[in-house]
Structure 1
């Protein structure tokens, strides 16, 4: 039932088992006995009404439901840890820090590469980054700015358009070299990113838009619904870099990898989504670090892609 969350100690115990793969190691990590860990998992299963550990295996492994829950616990505890860390550092840094939220893909491949230039121009300021699997959380007391992809019609802050996007199939050079022309999508694995964000372009949407752009009927391909699925864009990108298949490359995120030759076009059309990337700032102005960083992002995005 919504609102009836299990006690945190039960969630922490199960997350420790899922992370370490061992009840013994989890018990040592949490400084409790093994029977206490086992009992905590049983209580959690009773609370939820779902079996979380497959005890027929040695050592016991999380069930499919257990894996889903462990992933959510890990992300949730990580967010809490990030918030605690922010509060501590904010107290020490005073008025010299700004916190920006964005997806893990945007942070890894777009934002982090730009911070060196910002620090060179503003050595007295610190940028803290909070990431989510997809999208960005709403602005709150602990978040000054958010870089979001979408329609731009949000009401939780001041919205400024940063840049539009281009999407195209991309892959490792070795995979592209196997074919004389465009990589045949029916003959390779497609790399999908599972996300609740309805604005995020998936393979089915890409294929329809590409066909419309070319003036032809939607392509008949069995590939659009099969392949490997990942929970975030960084995982999918790493799989593409290792030659496991073809991904939908977003220019803002994979542009540097294409420029360096680590990824190449798979030979299919580029598509421009109807949505774009925006910077969302807290409506209450006056915090110098947030204003400085926001102004810098808005001014520099055109030069840096």
Structure 2
């Protein structure tokens, strides 16, 4: 039987592969970036293969690492479930909640603040994911994901029907009477969503502006919203993220664009939530039942 590498080395690899960042992996595991790098080097020496390609400003997985990662994550998940089955979930453990920066700032923050006021004894840990590969319930009790809800081995609850709507600073909105007026504005695009400006413009009857309006493209929605608040242009945002009053952002038009994707509460299948995580899940589920 092949002798397994130390668990800490494999944890360092799994976290680094999920975040594609040694620094983020160190934050998650409570060690320094240099400690993560050292564990990865030791693991690569033990396995006799490189696991990461080191670029100047980022890392990426080798073919061998991509092949190994799903099996390793499944093994960690099985170990976690087996431990919970024998010893039971820890009732006073901190609740680890993962979400994107946009969800955290615009939807989650006021709700977590209210939850904390009611349950100040419960420790909460909020961690960030941007790309789909950074999600995974191995090290989180609850996640808020965006998509069509087609994930495997998880329990899910939809946060409700989702629509997209233009959003901008009040001084920009003052120049917008009809969608045609967007021709003189910069449209702020966020990548990674199935519904975008092309669909909204077509639905509003001004599809020709897709190729005529100025474009500024960001890889996160939160950046488009910040740029919009600065008066840089008009963003297309999920209506759910705009439930809280924000004087820096207004909706210049009534028209919205439905999307097949939406936000979901997600938790591991077959692994019971500990008491504190269960309370937060129920709280967020109740919040989800409100108007979108």
TM-score by length of 1: 0.63
Matches within 5 A, 1:124-139: 124-135=121-132, 137-139=134-136
1:265 matches 2:251: yes
Q: Could you list the per-position Cα deviations for residues 206-247 of structure 1 after superposition, in whole angstroms to 9, with x for gaps in the alignment? A: 323444xxxxxx721245774111121121111000100010
Runs (5+) with no aligned partner, structure 2: 1-16, 32-89
- Tell me the SS of whatever aligns to 2:153: coil
* Cα distance in 2 for residues equivalent to 1:75 and 1:112: 26
Counterpart selection for 1:253 from 238, 241, 251: 241
* Cα distance in 2 for residues equivalent to 1:206 and 1:127: 37
Indicate if the aligned counterparts of 1:136 and 1:147 stay in contact, CA closer than 8 A.
no
Q: Could you list the per-position Cα deviations for residues 164-208 of structure 1 after superposition, in whole angstroms to 9, with x for gaps in the alignment? A: 22211111110121244446222110101133xxx4422123323
1:291 matches 2:278: yes
Counterpart selection for 2:97 from 100, 115, 127: 100
Runs (5+) with no aligned partner, structure 1: 1-71, 87-92, 212-217
Q: Structure 1 pair 171/205, CA: closer, same or farther in 2 (3 Å)?
A: same
Q: Structure 1 pair 204/78, CA: closer, same or farther in 2 (3 Å)?
A: farther
1:117 matches 2:114: yes
Q: Could you list the per-position Cα deviations for residues 85-140 of structure 1 after superposition, in whole angstroms to 9, with x for gaps in the alignment? A: 39xxxxxx983311111111111111112111111222221221111224573433
1:236 matches 2:233: no
- Tell me the SS of whatever aligns to 2:266: strand
Q: Which residue of 2 aligns with 1:140?
A: 137
Q: Tell me whether 264-273 or 101-110 shows the greater mean CA deviation.
A: 264-273
Indicate if the aligned counterparts of 2:91 and 2:274 stay in contact, CA closer than 8 A.
no
Q: Structure 1 pair 180/233, CA: closer, same or farther in 2 (3 Å)?
A: closer
Counterpart selection for 1:208 from 202, 205, 210: 202
Counterpart selection for 1:184 from 181, 189, 200: 181
Q: Which residue of 2 aligns with 1:81?
A: 26
* Cα distance in 1 for residues equivalent to 2:216 and 2:20: 21
> How many corresponding residue pairs?
216
- Tell me the SS of whatever aligns to 2:226: helix
Q: Structure 1 pair 183/135, CA: closer, same or farther in 2 (3 Å)?
A: farther
* Cα distance in 1 for residues equivalent to 2:175 and 2:166: 16
* Cα distance in 2 for residues equivalent to 1:286 and 1:250: 29
TM-score by length of 2: 0.65
* Cα distance in 2 for residues equivalent to 1:220 and 1:237: 24
Deviation above 6 Å: which 4+ runs of structure 1? none
Q: Structure 1 pair 156/226, CA: closer, same or farther in 2 (3 Å)?
A: farther
Cα RMSD (Å): 2.8
* Cα distance in 1 for residues equivalent to 2:133 and 2:144: 7
* Cα distance in 2 for residues equivalent to 1:107 and 1:136: 18
Q: Structure 1 pair 79/209, CA: closer, same or farther in 2 (3 Å)?
A: farther
